[in-house]
Amino acid sequence: MTLYPRPLQAGDTIRVVAPSRSLAYVEQGEAGRYVKQLANARLADLGISVSFGENVRESDMFWSSSAESRAADLHDAFADPEVAGIMSVIGGFTSNEVLPHLDFDLIAANPKFMCGNSDISAIANAVYARTGVATYIGPHWSTLGMRDHSEVTRAGFEHAAFGLDPIEWQPGTWFTDDDWFINQDGRVREPDDGWWPIQAGTAHGVALGANLGTLGLLAGTEFMPSLERAILFAEVTGKYSVMDFRRELVALLQMPDGEGIEGVVIGRFQTASRVTRAMLEETIASIPELEGKPVIANASFGHTNPLLTFPVGGEAQVRVLDDASIRFPRLET
């Protein structure tokens, strides 16, 4: 049975760690310093103090550091009784390197709210697989430094982090897809036509995901969660084509327990991918392993904004019939 960590509350401290890219990557220049200042201020507005891992600024030519340093910061965060929650600095490419160095017994004995996305999917799913503790896919600490158009992302994070009541997602009406962390001025909302119901059905299972390629890195390792009763939340980044997406999705479906995937929720593709609803409809219709299972696309998670928060390892309910719904009951179940 999944264990949900204690929600955050005013007066708590969160620890910012860098399991993937370094804080040095974010802090570059005036723009980076502004992101840091605003992210801390946004958390302070919620009554949350921020501390940083000892090694978060270590940086090599890949804007990362040794796996041992990154693991040490995670261990310190889980072991410190003054720390109530953990957030990643940002994503990157190397968080799976940390997994063999993690003390999962320590993490299981000190369950805490932990949130990040993208490359952090490796750690989020591994922690759930090895401990049964729910983790959260949602904004990085640095994401909270987005000045404009961040209201939906921040509201979703606050709802997920500060309580255990159900989370119910809503379709988007707009989105942004830009390098906001480089230039926060002149950003424009693009119209969003909401969810794309790709294939009808209903499913109730365990939420896993979200970055599809990163989750796939765990295949065949001790860190891969079971796909039995899985509701797969799948997103990709940048110029990923529909064929890139299809290949990685089918690879998971072909795992020994891949037939246990009960439904798929696909995050909004970035504009550069040029992926359309018609492409996804034809793709899903041609994958026999998904026949009769609900599939919904263009949900607000991934590498665009808004970025909604959900619990990895938590129960998820997906319905695609005359209407559609995506719901995480949490302690209601």
pLDDT at residue 57 in the model: 97
Ramachandran assignment for 186, one of left (phi > 0), alpha (psi -120 to 50 degrees), beta (any other): left
Contact of 242 with 283, CB cutoff 8 Å = yes
Q: Is the pLDDT of residue 72 over 90?
A: yes
Q: Assess contact for 173 and 194: CB atoms under 8 A.
A: yes
Among the three residues 149, 165, 181, which one is the final residue of a domain in this structure?
Answer: 165
Residue 256 has pLDDT above 50, yes or no: yes
Q: How many domains does the chain have?
A: 2
Which residue has tokens 């959260």? 136
Q: What is the CATH number of the domain that holds 148?
A: 3.40.50.10740
The average pLDDT across 177-199 equals 95
Strand segments, DSSP code E, in the chain are 13-17, 49-52, 85-88, 113-116, 135-137, 167-168, 174-175, 190-191, 196-199, 201-211, 230-235, 261-268, 295-302, 310-312, 315-320, 324-328
Residue 178 lies in a domain: yes
User: Does residue 28 belong to any structural domain of this protein?
Assistant: yes
Mean pLDDT of the chain: 97
**Rounded Cα gap, residues 245 and 239, in angstroms:** 10
93 and 178, same domain (yes or no): no
333 — pLDDT class (breaks 50, 70, 90): very low
pLDDT at 1: 85
3-state secondary structure of 329: coil
Strand order in the sheet with 261-268: 167-168, 324-328, 315-320, 201-211, 230-235, 261-268, 295-302, 196-199
The two structure tokens encoding residue 6: 């204690």
pLDDT in tens, 195-233: 999 999 999 999 999 999 999 999 999 999 999 999 999
Domain end, chosen from 111, 138, 165, is at: 165
Q: Tell whether 127 and 256 lie within a shared domain.
A: no
Work out the percent of the chain whose per-residue pLDDT is above 90: 98
CA quadruple 207, 213, 215, 216: dihedral sign: positive
Q: Looking at the structure, tell me whether residues 89 and 141 fall in a common domain.
A: yes
The answer to whether residues 309 and 172 belong to one domain is yes
What tens digit of pLDDT does each residue of 276-303 get?
A: 999 999 999 999 999 999 999 999 999 9
Measured at the CA of 235, the angle between CA 232 and CA 236, to 5 degrees, comes to 140
- Say which amino acid occupies 230: A
As given in the structure block, the two tokens for residue 185 are 């001025």
Residue 202 within a domain: yes
* Residue listed under structure tokens 């007066």: 11
pLDDT per residue as tens digits for the range 312-330: 999 999 999 989 999 999 9
- Domain span at 84: 13-165
pLDDT value of residue 87: 98
pTM higher than 0.95 = yes
Evaluate whether 312 touches 125 at the Cβ level (below 8 Å). Answer: yes
Confidence at residue 54, expressed as pLDDT on a 0 to 100 scale: 98
Residue 332 has pLDDT above 90, yes or no: no
What are the b/e assignments for 167-180, b being 16+ CB within 10 Å? bebeebeebbbbeb
Which residues carry out catalysis? 118, 235, 303
Within 10 A of 315 (CB to CB), how many other CB atoms are there? 21
Q: Are residues 127 and 201 in the same domain?
A: no
Q: What CATH number is attached to the domain comprising 195?
A: 3.50.30.60
Q: pLDDT, tens digit, for every residue of 106-132? A: 999 999 999 999 999 999 999 999 999
Query: How far is it, in rounded angstroms, from Cα 333 to Cα 329?
Result: 6
Give yes or no: residues 196 and 325 share one domain. yes
Same domain, 159 and 198: no
Radius of gyration of the chain (CA): 18
Q: Are 83 and 15 in contact (CB under 8 A)?
A: yes
